[in-house]
Structure 1
Amino acid sequence: MFLYRGSSISSFFVFALAIVDGALTSLPLASSYDVYERPVIGVLTQEFIGDRWDQQPYIAASYVKFVESGGARVVPIDINRNDSYYHNLLDQLNGVLFPGGDVDVHNSGYGRAGQLIYDYAKQRNEAGDYFPLWGICNGFEMLIYLSVDDYVLTACESHNQAKPLHFLPDTYRSRLFGKNLPGDVLNYLTHKNTTINFHRWCLTPQNFIGSGVNKVFNQLATNKDINGIEFVSALEAKAYPFYGVQFHPEKNLFEWTTRANHNNIPHSAEAIRVAQYFAEFFVNETRKSKHRMREDFFAREAIYNYNPEYTQDQLIFTQTYFFK
Structure 2
Amino acid sequence: MASISSLFTSLSSSFLFLFSFATSQSILLPTDRSNQAQNCPSSSSEPLSYNYPVIGIVTHPGDGASGRLSNATNASYIAASYVKFIEAAGARVVPIVYNEPEEIIAEKLKLVNGVIFTGGSAKTGPYFERIKNVFQIILDRNDEGEHFPLLAICLGFELVTKAVSKDNNILERFSAKNQASILQFVDNAATNISIFQRFSPQLIEKLSTDCLAMQNHIFGISPQRLQTNDALSNFFRILTTTPDKDGKIYVSSVQAYNYPVTALQWHPEKNVFEWGVSAIPHSEDAILVSQAVGNYFISEARKSSTRPSMKKVLDNLIYNYAPRFSGAVGSGFDEVYLFQ
Q: Which TM-score applies when normalising by structure 1?
A: 0.84
The aligned counterpart of 2:3 is none
Please list the CA deviations of residues 194-229 of structure 1 after superposition, one character each: whole Å capped at 9, or x if unmatched. Answer: 101000002101111122311110010000111111
Are residue 133 (structure 1) and residue 147 (structure 2) matched?
Answer: no
Please list the CA deviations of residues 226-277 of structure 1 after superposition, one character each: whole Å capped at 9, or x if unmatched. Answer: 11110000000011000011011111000011xxxx3110000000001110
Task: Name the SS for the 2:328 alignment partner.
Answer: coil
CA contact (8 A) 2:89 2:294 kept: yes
- State the distance in 2 between where 1:142 and 1:185 align: 29
- State the distance in 2 between where 1:250 and 1:172 align: 20
- State the distance in 1 between where 2:336 and 2:111 align: 25
- State the distance in 1 between where 2:109 and 2:278 align: 37
- State the distance in 2 between where 1:127 and 1:299 align: 27
Alignment of 1:1-324 (within 5 A): 34-48=48-62, 50-52=66-68, 53-54=70-71, 55=73, 56-104=75-123, 106-109=124-127, 111-151=128-168, 152-169=170-187, 170-178=189-197, 180-212=198-230, 213-257=232-276, 262-314=277-329, 315-324=331-340
Q: CA deviation at 1:293?
A: 2.1
Please list the CA deviations of residues 123-153 of structure 1 after superposition, one character each: whole Å capped at 9, or x if unmatched. Answer: 1111111100001101111111111122311
- State the distance in 2 between where 1:184 and 1:300 align: 43
Please list the CA deviations of residues 57-95 of structure 1 after superposition, one character each: whole Å capped at 9, or x if unmatched. Answer: 101100000111111000100112333212222122100
Q: How many pairs does the alignment contain?
A: 285
CA contact (8 A) 1:160 1:197 kept: yes
- State the distance in 2 between where 1:312 and 1:70 align: 24
Structure 1 unaligned segments of length 5 or more: list them: 1-32
Task: Name the SS for the 2:138 alignment partner.
Answer: helix
Please list the CA deviations of residues 24-45 of structure 1 after superposition, one character each: whole Å capped at 9, or x if unmatched. Answer: xxxxxxxxx9110000000100
Larger Rg: 2
Please list the CA deviations of residues 144-187 of structure 1 after superposition, one character each: whole Å capped at 9, or x if unmatched. Answer: 11111223111111012111210002424532224x43223313
- State the distance in 1 between where 2:275 and 2:143 align: 40
Structure 2 unaligned segments of length 5 or more: list them: 1-46
Q: CA RMSD in A?
A: 1.5
- State the distance in 2 between where 1:276 and 1:173 align: 17
Q: Which TM-score applies when normalising by structure 2?
A: 0.81
Q: CA deviation at 1:99?
A: 0.6
Task: Name the SS for the 1:198 alignment partner.
Answer: strand
